[in-house]
């Protein structure tokens, strides 16, 4: 077990853990959290694990005004052998640093932060649920904390990790969702922040989501901000199409989030010798394929849902069914393969798993 | 004096006020603040004035993750007759509601909030500086406070007003600034959040600002996100050009903030019978005008700076001088006219001023 030089203050009280069958996404948090501070000139300092507690900031703290923030989402899984697995966590912290760069936030030390996360997980290891489909959702995030109203990068930040035991993100599970192609609102554009995981991208997406929700659609499909023609993402997921045997996902063009699940799926498909290409794909191409009967599958991918099959698109008033609204074979195989690796039910041929060594359990 | 039903808790200690000649922008705040809460089903409630104090939130509060926030900026002025003036404050709260609408935040009651602001100003009236060019900067803002990691509109918010005595926003005063035309980064695009005053717009602008700052330019000129051709804003200000006798400012196309100062300038120019048009204007048009010797003036406009003359543009490696880097006649006249109205040094023919009735001063 690698040592990291940090202070650990244990909670004197323990919260009641929710029942495994009553887990909701992101509402209940574990007993502890990790915090680290940044001040210009001093760098990142004072890494510490403390009891889960509220954050106290001046009302002029920049996070409340100018949205300088980034975050990540990953999961810890408890295998049937009671081992604790993380899925490609270094990818998340590397991506955090890319987001940091775009948002003018100083980079973190990926190795040190990963060690800190492992220690936090050990401290709260009793919080990882073990029922089918459950996991411990991990939310690292950085916020600008300098108390100053000037529009400029903050000279103070906090990096924080909180954790929440979760069931499936979508209450409907692996069942396909219905998607509305967004025509009015734009998620991101080249030169903007689309490829960074920053709060503003999510804030700006809420309105389109609200509108599509009223019309009975679970998520929106985002088109490019320039021509409103090319597909970018679905809700807060990456998106894949299987057309005439070929799997297609939009190329990372600067306005698309480089998903860890997206990357893993591309690697899996290569491994299986299934043709996969990262390229520009228009909604018109998807429409033509659906009409021609060659649109075989469509699915969103992300850490929360892993794979989210798409059963129907609404585009320009027309409903386009995919796989008769059923989960496709490839979607199912990808979901099973990824979740089997994540939960230790199968081998890990790609070295995606990081095991968290455990302390002797005391409770 | 209109009554508003709210609780006022006065501070038992008073902070030391900064000296008039040492005022910085947005670093020191008055003794009190206004807060109001929102919970779905209950609406906005519990409006109150309390001693200026820190905000305490759960680390899962949505503002830290998904950027759901809006804000405003306006100023209170102390006239030489010791009257307190606000400049078109209803416009700011109306715009706040437009921003709220885009960000899925419930609207506030403009009249009630304006009354609350007046009361807050009365409570802290001793904080309004009276030296030339100084004012009390007022920052209303709304943050999403629900402790939940789902990507959805929050069901809890806080509306807060804090106030800060300020000198001039630009330390150089009314002197012209040098501007770099931004080629790589994009501020906003149609269908995005450009016309809302939300944190994400400012977070995404920091990187371009950082780059131009290193090259010695005070602000960047933002081009449209689609063709990178048409002018949108300058830094966090609206922008005007005087070309061959005509004043031109980009039309409000959905990705430009509808500035209160912008609106006031257009009204002033109409009043003076100076030709002014809100239309699309390309950087190429500005370039051609500069080459032809018809680019007479250029300036940014905003609450903080009022008028900020532009003395030079950097575009595609070429430096374009405006007015030989001096402040133009119209820029100066607009600055003087607006600040004279704001500070009670002249009449108010447009009914732009809201007077804040004062309490008997006790200190």
pLDDT band of residue B350 (cuts 50, 70, 90) is: very high
What ipTM was estimated for this complex? 0.96
Band (B171; pLDDT cuts 50, 70, 90): low
Whether the CB-CB separation of A134 and A169 falls below 8 Å is answered with: no
* Angle made by CA atoms A159, A165, A171, in degrees to the nearest 5: 120
Are B57 and B64 contacting, i.e. CB atoms less than 8 angstroms apart?
yes
Looking at beta carbons, which residues of chain B come within 8 Å of A152? Answer: 206, 209
Q: Which of B297, B302, B170, B296 is nearest to B234 (CA)?
A: B302
B181 in Cβ contact with B159 (< 8 Å):
no
CA–CA dist B256, B274 (Å, integer) = 23
Q: What are phi and psi of B176, to 5 degrees?
A: -60, 150
Pick the CATH number of B7-167+347-356 from 3.30.2130.10, 1.10.10.10, 3.30.470.10, 3.90.1150.10: 3.30.470.10
The whole-number pLDDT of residue A263 equals 98
pLDDT tens for A122-170 read: 999 999 998 888 999 999 999 999 999 999 999 999 999 999 999 865 5
pLDDT of residue A2: 52
Identify the residue among A51, A67, A138 best suited for mutation to test binding to B, counting B beta carbons within 10 A and taking the highest. Answer: A67
Among A202, A69, A199, which residue's Cα sits nearest to residue A144?
A69
Q: What is the structure's pLDDT at B362?
A: 53
- The residue length of chain B stands at 363
Q: Give the residue, B103 or B304, on which the prediction is more confident.
A: B103
What are the distances in angstroms from CA A338 to CA A124, A262, A328, B292, B298?
Answer: 25, 11, 16, 64, 57
Q: For residues B206 and A99, what is the distance between their CA atoms, to the nearest angstrom?
A: 13
Pairing of strands A32-39, A43-51: antiparallel
* Residue A25 CB partners (closer than 8 Å, separation 6+): A137, A164, A166, A167, A169, A304, B149, B150
- For chain B, give every domain's residue range: 7-167+347-356, 177-327
Mean pLDDT, chain A, whole residue set:
95
pLDDT value, residue A20: 81
If we measure between CA atoms, which residue out of A259, A184, A331 comes closest to residue A322? A331
Is domain A7-167+346-356 in CATH 3.30.470.10, yes or no? yes
Q: Do A139 and B149 touch (CB under 8 A)?
A: yes
Contact: B199, A200; criterion CB under 8 Å: yes
Note the pLDDT tens digit of each residue in B112-147.
999 999 999 999 999 999 888 899 999 999 999 999
DSSP B189: -
Q: 3-class SS at B334? A: helix
Question: DSSP secondary-structure letter at A328?
Answer: P
Task: Report the C-alpha gap between B238 and B221 in whole angstroms.
Answer: 10
DSSP string of B113-181, one letter each residue: HHHHHHHHHHHTGGG---STT-EEEEEEEEEE--B--SSS--SEEEEEEEEEEE--SSTTTTS-EEEEE
User: Closest chain A residue to B188 measured between Cα atoms?
Assistant: A192
Q: Which residues of A touch B56 (CB under 8 A)?
A: 54-56
Assess contact for B72 and B35: CB atoms under 8 A: no
Q: Give A270 to chain B, closest Cα distance, Å.
A: 32
Instruction: List the one residue out of B226, B228, B239, B214 whose CA is nearest residue B182.
Output: B228
- CA dihedral of residues B206, B212, B216, B217 (deg, nearest 10): -90
**How high does pLDDT run on average in chain B?**
95
Strand residue runs (E) in chain A:
7-8, 32-39, 43-51, 55-57, 69-71, 74-78, 84-87, 135-144, 156-166, 177-181, 219-223, 231-234, 238-243, 246-249, 276-278, 295-302, 306-315, 318-321, 353-356
Which of these, B90, B112, B122, B143, lies nearest to B8 by C-alpha position? B122
Beta strand residue intervals within A190-255, DSSP E: 219-223, 231-234, 238-243, 246-249
* List of chain A residues whose C-beta atoms are within 8 Å of the C-beta of residue B236: 151
First to last CA, chain A: 21
The CA-atom distances, in angstroms, between B9 and each of B123, B157, B362 are 10, 21, 17
- Among B176, B200, B178, which residue's Cα sits nearest to residue B189? B200
Phi, psi (deg, nearest 5) at residue B167: -90, -150
Instruction: Decide if B236 touches A, using CB distance below 8 A.
Output: yes
CA B126 – CA B31 distance, rounded (Å): 10
Cα A221–chain centre separation: 17
- Between residues A360 and B18, the one the model is more confident about: B18
Question: How high is the pLDDT of residue A4?
Answer: 72
- Residue A162: list chain B partners with CB under 8 A: 59-60
- A-contacting residues of B 56-115, CB under 8 Å? 56-61, 63-69, 71, 102-104
The helix or strand, by DSSP H or E, that contains position A199, with its residue range, turns out to be helix A199-214
The Cα A87–Cα B173 span in angstroms is: 54
Q: What CATH fold (topology level) applies to the domain B177-327?
A: D-amino Acid Aminotransferase; Chain A, domain 2 (3.20.10)
Residue B256 has pLDDT above 70, yes or no: yes
In chain B, what are the helix, strand and coil shares in percent, each to the nearest 5? 25, 30, 45
Q: What is the pLDDT of residues B194-238, one digit of tens each?
A: 999 999 999 999 999 999 999 899 999 999 999 999 999 999 999
Q: What gap in Å lies between CA A156 and CA A144, rounded to an integer?
A: 6
Sequence-ordered alpha helix ranges (H) in A257-352:
260-271, 283-292, 329-342
Q: How far is B275 from chain A (nearest CA, A)?
A: 33
Give the dihedral of Cα atoms A92, A209, B155, B34; nearest 10 deg: 90
Strand A84-87 with A353-356, pairing: antiparallel
Q: How far apart are CA A286 and CA B116, in angstroms?
A: 54
Q: Inform me whether the pLDDT recorded for B325 exceeds 80.
A: yes
| Angle CA B179–B302–B115, to nearest 5 | 160
What is the pLDDT at residue B305? Answer: 87
- B246, B250, B270, B271: which is closest to B259 by C-alpha? B250
Positions of E strands within chain B: 7-8, 32-39, 43-51, 55-57, 69-71, 74-78, 84-87, 135-144, 156-166, 177-181, 219-223, 231-234, 238-243, 246-249, 276-278, 295-302, 306-315, 318-321, 353-356
Residues of A in contact with B69 (CB under 8 A): 64-65, 67, 203
Which of B147, B225, B236 faces A189 most closely, judged by CB atoms? B225
Structural contact between residues A248 and A277, judged by C-beta atoms closer than 8 angstroms: yes
In sequence order, the 6+-apart residues with CB closer than 8 A to the CB of B184 are A191, B208, B211
Whole-angstrom Cα distance, residue B177 to residue B165?
A: 24
- Asked if A14 and A23 count as a contact pair (C-beta separation under 8 A), the reply is no
Could you tell me if B60 and A161 are in contact, meaning their C-beta atoms sit under 8 angstroms apart?
A: no
Mapped onto helix, strand or coil, the DSSP state of residue B11 is coil
Q: How many CB atoms lie within 10 A of CB B4?
A: 15
Q: Quick one: pLDDT at residue B1?
A: 45
Handedness of CA B285, B291, B297, B303 (dihedral sign): positive
Please tell me the predicted confidence (pLDDT) of residue A1: 45
**Low-confidence residues in chain A, pLDDT < 70:** 1-3, 168-173, 360-363
Partner-chain contact B56 A59, CB within 8 Å: no
């Amino acid at each position: 077990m690698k040592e990291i030089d940090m202070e650990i203050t244990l909670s004197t009280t323990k919260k009641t853990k929710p029942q495994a069958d009553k887990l909701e996404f992101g509402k209940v948090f574990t007993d502890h959290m990790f915090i680290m501070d940044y001040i210009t000139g001093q760098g990142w300092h004072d890494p510490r694990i403390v009891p889960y507690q509220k954050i106290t900031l001046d009302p002029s703290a920049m996070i409340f005004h100018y949205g300088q923030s980034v975050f990540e989402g990953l999961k810890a899984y408890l295998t049937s052998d009671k081992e604790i697995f993380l899925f490609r966590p270094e990818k998340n912290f590397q991506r955090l640093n890319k987001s940091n760069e775009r948002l003018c936030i100083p980079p973190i030390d990926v190795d040190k932060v990963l060690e800190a996360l492992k220690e936090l997980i050990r401290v709260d290891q009793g919080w990882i649920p073990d029922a089918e489909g459950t996991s411990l959702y991990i939310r690292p995030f950085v916020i600008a904390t300098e108390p100053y109203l000037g529009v400029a990068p903050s000279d103070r930040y906090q990096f924080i990790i909180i954790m929440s035991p979760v069931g499936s993100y979508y209450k409907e599970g692996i069942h396909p969702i219905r998607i509305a192609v967004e025509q009015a609102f734009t998620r991101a554009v080249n030169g903007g922040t689309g490829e960074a995981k920053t709060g503003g991208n999510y804030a700006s997406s809420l309105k389109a989501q609200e509108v599509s929700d009223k019309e009975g659609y679970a998520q929106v499909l985002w088109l490019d901000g320039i021509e409103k023609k090319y597909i970018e993402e679905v809700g807060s997921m990456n998106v894949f199409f299987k057309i005439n045997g070929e799997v297609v996902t939009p190329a990372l063009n600067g306005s698309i989030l480089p998903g860890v699940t997206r990357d893993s799926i591309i690697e899996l498909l290569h491994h299986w010798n299934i043709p996969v290409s990262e390229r520009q794909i228009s909604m018109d191409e998807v429409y033509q394929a659906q009409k021609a009967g060659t649109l075989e599958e469509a699915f969103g991918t992300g850490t929360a849902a892993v794979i989210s099959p798409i059963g129907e698109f609404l585009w320009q008033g027309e409903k386009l069914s995919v796989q008769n609204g059923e989960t496709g074979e490839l979607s199912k195989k990808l979901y099973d393969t990824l979740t089997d690796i994540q939960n230790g039910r199968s081998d890990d041929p790609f070295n995606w798993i990081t095991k968290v060594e455990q302390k002797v359990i005391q409770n």
